[in-house]
Amino acid sequence: MSMLIMIIIAILSLSVLILIHELGHFVAAKMVGVWPEEFGIGFPPRLWGKKLGETIYSVNALPIGGFVRLHGEDPQQKAKYPQKSFQNKHPLARIFVAAAGVFMNFVLATTFFATIYGFTGIPKGVKIVDVASDSPAAAAQIEKGDEILFVDNTKIDDNSTFPVLISEKAGKKINVTVRNAQGEVSEKQIVVRSTPPEGEGLLGIVYTPASIYRPVFWQAPFVYLYYGTAKTINLSGTILSGIIMIFGSLLGGKLPAGVAGPVGVTVIVAEVARLGILPLMEFMAIISINLGLINLIPFPPLDGGRIVFLFWELLTGKKIKPKFEERIQATGMIILLGLMLLVTATEIPALISAGSLTGFVENLLE
């Protein structure tokens, strides 16, 4: 595929994530009786629009994401139909609408993971295929062909939980129960590294699933959905830890290495698209979780910021003054746009100097 086609695929893929998020707000608004005035694909100026029922469905000039315009959403403007106004609904109803977009991002991630499992089966267990010399695993006499059964008292059943569990144990001593190729079970003690050498993990092993599980036909949708949900939950914890570290660095006045902005994310998605539909779906699921968690941050104008204001209203019975809320939202937007511009300002020269999308991604991940 040409570079242009990959970039288009990347933009469309990212737009799907945003549209799903906005669809959550749209459906939730209709459920609580708020009038969605417009559901737009892309951002204005409008290229085409058609009114179906009470909502205008539009296609707009800027082909990135989308939006939902709710009646009475702006506290500064008087609603034409008060009974359908977002601002006039109970705080719990508005919290429901605000949180629905995030919920849909997690639903999309779960659906993608479940679909991938439907094609590949569910990887079960951990089997060692290589052990690096001078690594914690080598020091504990873990060998190629060993299967890891337990880490401390946690059974290693779902393959995707293993790296999450190990990352939580960084810098600590763990007990690992293994079964060798002859079927003998033994327990090893390993001190998990905090900073592994380049090209090695925390334990210094390369592993594959010990087996692939494919449920019977009638059970398959439920089993795949269960494991898709479990993977979404496990990854959410890992991603949340990473987001906290990034914001900690930003508050300390440092831009963390390897952080991708709009340009970087688009380029990475374009590169992943080269590998096929299933790798692209998995990566989009991870980005969808990121999008959901970032939107939960209690910082205006993110959904989390709005939810904080609504909880304040719910607890005190008093609405935030419209002018104050507007100023807070505008200030937050300026800060977020400033951060995006800062990251983008470093990405564009890096992309040009790298000479290719692949080179840029390799430099970003170093």
Name which residue leads in pLDDT, 157 or 193.
193
Structure letter (DSSP) for residue 83: G
What pLDDT, on the 0 to 100 scale, is given for residue 309? 92
Q: Which tens digits make up the pLDDT trace of 78-104?
A: 888 999 999 999 999 999 999 999 999
Superfamily of domain 122-213: PDZ domain (2.30.42.10)
Locate the domains of the chain by residue range.
99-120+257-365, 122-213
Cβ atoms 174, 190 nearer than 8 A: yes
pLDDT value at residue 363: 62
- Of the chain, the percentage scoring pLDDT greater than 90 comes to 52
For residues 120-145, average pLDDT: 92
Instruction: Give the list of residues 6+ apart from residue 124 with CB closer than 8 angstroms, or none.
Output: 157, 158, 159, 209, 210, 211, 212, 213
Stretch 164-169: mean pLDDT: 85
| Phi and psi angles of residue 151, each rounded to the nearest 5 degrees, phi first | -120, 115
Average pLDDT over residues 217-224: 94
